Structure 1
């Protein structure tokens, strides 16, 4: 089969899926689902059991046979973020590799949310119209819920809540054994978790009404979306009518009406109660069901990376970085200037650093968020930035990329990586070198506004045989900037072998 075909496998907590798509046309030619629930007990902090690993390996071998039958030579296996949280997840991934030859690539929750956004933008016709107004994309995963808020076609905020239908189902099972009124207690539990999470959403978004694009709501999709279609819209009243019917129906009726099996019918009640609270919280005006999932997002991104789709959604990553910086009250004028100087330096120094477009994106994010540690304490704020970023998820970035951004932010100020790069032994030598190069550039850019006074209007860069001349255009006294520049530039010399030289040119002579 032609090289345009690609096989994508997603190993999730409650199921495994294979999708074979034509990357050039976007057409799905095969879709196979296995009900092997490899991680159904992970939310109770239990290990993945060995028997389920054997079942998963058998299912994966079956997927491989389907891929072979179609003549597909390009394929990839991903493991969901929820599955990666199992205590023995890395052991299980290795066991699956030994048994099948397939290597799991873990996908972060931020990446899951991002690829879903890509798929919705390209495959849901109403997307462009909806995101011009206040719109919330809500994605349901087994153990979490993702939110992306849009207005004027720009991402305003992106958040992930560690609460999803499967996690709620396990709570309900415990409540049925311990509480006299488990449904009422579960409803209170969901309300408290959502309210506690939602207070971190920006204040200006908490009171606005939203159009809601809902992803991953299988019971609602099966009930409302017409056969042969991939989306439909419904009113809140239609949802409430569905809720009343589902809450009073038997499992047998729900399995027949919603096309569910014995393993998935138990998710209906948790999902309905969760959505009931979410729609009230985001002030939903109307609900748009879209039958897409993470696997659709992963194949869409693969098509973009392969050049079949000429789209770039990195602006959502930058918007998410700005939202994170705003949450930690980063001073916007300094941030904007460092952002501007950092990108200018990166572009003018390509012959020195030989870094990629993805590296430029990571540096761009670091330039935005490097000062977030000041929210805790301005003293040694770079150490706090490092900690916060390591514990954060950002839309579109992998966990490893967040570690790189955290390290670059750690070294933007007084400390230098130097011998401390040994702290990052989990990263390869190439990645440690990337950190050093990115940090060296950010340090110089940050030094150009060390006093946070925005005294430099613009800069020019000239690469010479033994030095890099950076000319600052300003009419102000730049004594402090010159001192900070000379101090922070030493590490640049260590990394690139050229001495940065600071010069000033007056704007008005």
Structure 2
């Protein structure tokens, strides 16, 4: 019998539970679900902290869920519990999480917007199933409007072109309306200005006006689909663009009480329905889509999928490809040398595979090495001199799909030390990182420096190379070589860290 998996999401408007199991044929069965409203978002987006009343409310809900999960034989330690934007921005989140841990045993993980995007991508890809071929071929926008933020993914012909988390959420805007006594018309004008400015900044990643597929995710989008759309299959809907826009316009005339009565939703959900659907409509307006696709799914489904002990190799490979595509899109945005980046990435992979036993790091580090190879020279866009420092800055302040905040710090540090005489150990900030992160940075930086040196001319000086260890040396023998004098000089300049970390003196033959 399959072991049940449990996840809890603490969002801006509620605390939600999902219990599911995977059968032997890899199908997912929903065993239990629950949702209870809280005012986390209204607290944080107005006062900056979670009030004592809301803390008490959250605690009671989680104690109730603890009892509910016990019926399935699931303990708090076996439960994954995440918190999103409201918790993330709360000034008193640490003591609140500590109280919850002591009282319930639930250990909360606060995730960032890019992690939300990753989980939503998993949920959407899983739900689309047969529509997946279209997702792989069309330029696509995937949008989820939440209480505290709006998550967007841009896909160009099936490859990730960008992932963004905007501080544009229904509860955040509803709090703004109450604090500044703004009308819905004022909020609509604000949204028009915000989305227009956002569209301009996204054009470097994807031509929004030419997008032909729009995927809207979230409970409010599902409500619109049920009332104005038609089912494609189980848990998948479509809405004609005109029908969707008419539905949103008509809904703006309803009061909150009318929304509760007409759509059989809670007052809490009805309060933000007008603003939520307006945000979807504003982004749809900038595209050429004729139909909006609405998969009935959520971040909890994505979290359940990500908890599978052995995710399929095909799914894992596809996800890694999307992360690398997102990195390449970022490089393209800053007019980087894509051919050089790709060669350095290939060289890095070759060194990594040859040294796999000595590297002794988890397989995720190979992906980080490939992303760092793609982005190491991105800072040249700002200035060639000390471009490694500019690369570090750009990476630290960019959103890369599927890359966590900790991984972003690792990537930025590797980029900083991919050239120059300074090494990571010389930096005080490096010394305070976790030991595992320090070793990851040292090993991957050592490999990147060598791979970059082997393409010093940026012109592919040889067709391929082999690696052979001989005592304390590593022989790099090139094939189809032209003049590799530049590469030999670069290798002598940049091989010190490799020799220090792995103990091999490099010889280019």
Same fold (TM over 0.5): yes
CA offsets 1:69-94 (integer angstroms, 9 cap, x no match): 11135321111144212223233222
CA offsets 1:305-342 (integer angstroms, 9 cap, x no match): 43478522211111111111111111112111111111
- Does 2:338 align with 1:338? no
CA–CA distance in 2 between the matches of 1:58 and 1:415? 56
- Does 2:60 align with 1:75? no
C-alpha change, 1:479 and 1:429, in structure 2 (3 Å) is: same
Matches within 5 A, 1:295-310: 295-303=300-308, 305-307=309-311
Given the alignment, which residue of 248, 264, 281 partners 1:259? 264
- Does 2:115 align with 1:108? no
Which residue of structure 2 aligns with residue 352 of structure 1?
Answer: 358
Which residue of structure 2 aligns with residue 198 of structure 1?
Answer: 199
TM-score after normalising by structure 1? 0.92
Which residue of structure 2 aligns with residue 480 of structure 1?
Answer: 486
Secondary structure at 2:33's aligned position in 1?
strand
Task: Give the CA RMSD over aligned residues.
Answer: 2.2
Which residue of structure 2 aligns with residue 15 of structure 1?
Answer: 14
Shift of residue 481, structure 1, vs aligned partner: 1.4
Given the alignment, which residue of 269, 275, 295 partners 1:290? 295
- Does 2:125 align with 1:121? yes
Secondary structure at 2:457's aligned position in 1?
coil
- Does 2:152 align with 1:150? no
CA offsets 1:376-424 (integer angstroms, 9 cap, x no match): 2221111121122222221112111111111111111114434335313
Contiguous gaps of at least 5 residues in structure 1? 504-509
Give the 4+ runs in structure 1 shifted more than 4 A.
224-229
Q: Contact 1:202 / 1:327 at 8 angstroms: preserved in 2? A: no
Given the alignment, which residue of 397, 400, 415 partners 2:406? 400
Matches within 5 A, 1:450-465: 450-465=456-471
C-alpha change, 1:72 and 1:309, in structure 2 (3 Å) is: farther
- Count of aligned pairs: 497
Which residue of structure 2 aligns with residue 442 of structure 1?
Answer: 448
C-alpha change, 1:377 and 1:148, in structure 2 (3 Å) is: same
Greater mean deviation of Cα atoms: 330-339 or 474-483: 474-483
C-alpha change, 1:106 and 1:44, in structure 2 (3 Å) is: same
C-alpha change, 1:91 and 1:417, in structure 2 (3 Å) is: farther
CA–CA distance in 1 between the matches of 2:256 and 2:41? 23
Contiguous gaps of at least 5 residues in structure 2? none
Which residue of structure 2 aligns with residue 506 of structure 1?
Answer: none
CA offsets 1:91-141 (integer angstroms, 9 cap, x no match): 322232222222112222112112211222122234314312232211222
Secondary structure at 1:29's aligned position in 2?
strand
Q: Contact 2:425 / 2:431 at 8 angstroms: preserved in 1? A: no
Which residue of structure 2 aligns with residue 89 of structure 1?
Answer: 93
Which residue of structure 1 aligns with residue 474 of structure 2?
Answer: 468
Shift of residue 251, structure 1, vs aligned partner: 1.5
Which residue of structure 2 aligns with residue 247 of structure 1?
Answer: 252
